[in-house]
Amino acid sequence: MNRRLRARAAGVGRRCVVAVERAILSPVLLWGGCWCGGVRYRVADEFLYAWNCHCSRCRAATGSAFKPLAGIEREKLEIVQGADELLVVGDDVLNDTRCASCGSFLFSVVRDGAYVHVGMGSLIDVPSILPTAHIFVGSKAPWFEITDDLPQFEEYAS
């Protein structure tokens, strides 16, 4: 192999390594969205925590016994479709974000706008993380019985 060919082969090898490194380092992305299909988001499968929240606000906002939520840095969630069709209840740094067309709850922006709490029911793909605790069990709906063995906290998980 002459010198030029060797250099080219080395270049291809380097490009392969870069491609493989990129594939390993780039996060797995999960799809989520509302039921009418108007809004679609992508979020990194890098959630920092996940809880089932039984607080009265989460129950009312979702119409459910509790809200399974998963927390992640805000910049790791991207609205891919329907960014102009969002119903934002609250302000830029603290809100519940829904689809304006069908009303589906998608996520909350929390903690001074730095994090989002994704409503896990809005995830289309299956995340790596599972809820690890029930929180705000002190305000749990009296008609709902927790039947799993996850730890329960009166308010925030400690």
CB of 44 to Zn ion, least distance (A): 22
Judged by CB under 5 A, the residue of 36, 65, 129, 133 near Zn ion is: 36
| Residue 117 per-residue DSSP state | E
Other C-beta atoms within 10 Å of 6: how many?
A: 10
Stretch of residues binding Zn ion (CB under 5 A), selected from 10-18, 27-35, 124-132, 137-145: 27-35
Judged by CB under 5 A, the residue of 102, 129, 133, 157 near Zn ion is: 102
Distance between CA atoms of 83 and 80, rounded to whole angstroms?
A: 7
Q: Is 121 in the site for Zn ion (CB under 5 A)?
A: no
First to last CA, the chain: 64
Q: Is 101 in the site for Zn ion (CB under 5 A)?
A: yes
Nearer CB in complex with Zn ion: 58/109: 58
Closest CA to 67 of 4, 124, 121, 114: 121
Distance between CA atoms of 1 and 17, rounded to whole angstroms?
A: 22
Stretch of residues binding Zn ion (CB under 5 A), selected from 7-15, 23-31, 37-45, 148-156: 37-45
| # residues contacting Zn ion (CB under 5 A) | 9
Tokens of 95: 């809100």
CB of 144 to Zn ion, least distance (A): 14
Strand partners, 90: 95
Distance between CA atoms of 73 and 65, rounded to whole angstroms?
A: 26
Judged by CB under 5 A, the residue of 99, 110, 118, 137 near Zn ion is: 99
Q: Which stretches of the chain bind Zn ion, using CB under 5 A?
A: 34, 36, 38, 53, 55, 58, 99, 101-102
